Amino acid sequence: MTARALPDTRAVEDWRYAPQAALAELWPLEAPDTVTVPAGEHFVRAIVLDTDAVVHLDLTLAAGATAAVHVVNVGSGYGRVEVTATLGAGADFTLGAVQLAGGSAMREIVASVTHAAPDATSRQIVRTVLGGQATGTVLGRIRVERGAIGTDAEQSIRAMLLDRTATANARPELEIFADDVKCAHGCAVGELDAMGLFYLQSRGLEPPRAKALMLQAFLAEALVGAEDEERLCALALAALEGLL
């Protein structure tokens, strides 16, 4: 246990969208799960959060190490998954995360990838589906430190609103202190394509099933290639059924 002070959610950027009251219930938080991946080794982790909790995985990848972290963040209350990764020379890191929230749920994914040495590669793909009065927040940071030349970092954050009453917060952040780096990022909040939905329904699909079909592909983008892709997809689809 660490004796971190409860952050003032209005003032601390990384906690800006967290609900103060729900957070107070969970305080004090457990220390982050800290993992160092030795040179040349491969690390795999799936995080499934379906309760009220804040979990934090903090990775350090030594030179040439690789890691793949996949996240399914679902549940009816407040749940936050934080993943931080610091990459050594030539390391490779993948984060694929989905979160689904309906009712008055608040889910957060906070990802921060630091390229600390040359030639590391990373990608973050986060997909959020929100219905009801739910709030989904994604903070995704890429930091490229001085000297981390040859960095190749990608980030794609997308959210889909099933109801206009849901709220998506998406904040990508790039901090680049090196030359000769490639950073690609995209961030979008949208609604299901109405014409696509009508097309599927015109062939006989009930509206919830038409929506599920369209969203399944959207979510799968984040989970493709996960070691237990099938299980994670099934969990995400089960949560999706609950929203439709």
Partner 1 sequence: MLVIDDLHAEVAGKPILKGLSLTINAGEIHAIMGPNGAGKSTLGYTLGGRPGYEVTGGSVTFEGRDLLALAPHERAAAGLFLGFQYPVEIPGVSNVQFLREALNAQRRQRGETELSGGAFLQVAKLKAGLLKMDMDMLKRPVNVGFSGGEKKRAEMVQMGILDPKFAVLDETDSGLDIDALRICGEGINTIMRKPGKAVLLITHYQRLLDVVKPDFVHVLAGGRIVRSGGPELALELEREGYEAVA
Three-class SS state of 151: coil
Of 87 and 200, the one with the shorter C-beta distance to partner 1 is: 200
Cross-strand bridge partners of residue 7: none
Q: b/e map of 135-170 (b: 16 or more CB within 10 Å)? A: bbbbbbbbbbbeebebbebbbbbbbbbbeeebbbeb
Question: Of residues 100-139, which lie at the interface with partner 1 (CB under 8 A)?
Answer: none
Distance CA 240, CA 187 (A): 21
214 contacts partner 1 (rule: CB under 8 A): yes
71-79, 88-96, 213-221, 228-236 -> range binding partner 1 (CB under 8 A): 213-221
Nearer to partner 1, 52 or 221 (CB): 221
Sign of CA dihedral 205, 208, 209, 214: positive
In the set 213, 225, 227, 238, which binds partner 1 (CB under 8 A)?
213
Q: Which is nearer to partner 1, 5 or 195 (CB)?
A: 195
Give dist(CA 99, CA 240) in Å, integer.
Answer: 10
- Give me the helix-helix angle, 194-202 and 207-223, nearest 10°: 120
Q: Which listed range, 52-60, 157-165, 181-189, 199-207, lies at the site for partner 1 (CB under 8 A)?
A: 199-207
Q: Which of 23, 48, 178, 220 binds partner 1 (CB under 8 A)?
A: 220
Q: Does 225 bind partner 1 (CB under 8 A)?
A: no
Within its chain, how far is the Cα of 72 from the centroid? 8
Q: How many CB atoms lie within 10 A of CB 177?
A: 12
- Binding mask 154-193 toward partner 1 (x if CB under 8 A, else -) reads ---------------------------------------x
Q: Please, what is the Cα angle at 201 between 197 and 205, to 5 degrees?
A: 120
Among 29, 63, 149, 205, binds partner 1 (CB under 8 A): 205
Among 163, 175, 206, 230, binds partner 1 (CB under 8 A): 206
d(CA 233, CA 175): 32
Among 146, 177, 198, 241, binds partner 1 (CB under 8 A): 198
237 binds partner 1 (CB under 8 A): no
Binding site residues, partner 1, CB under 8 A: 193-196, 198-207, 209-210, 213-214, 216-218, 220-221
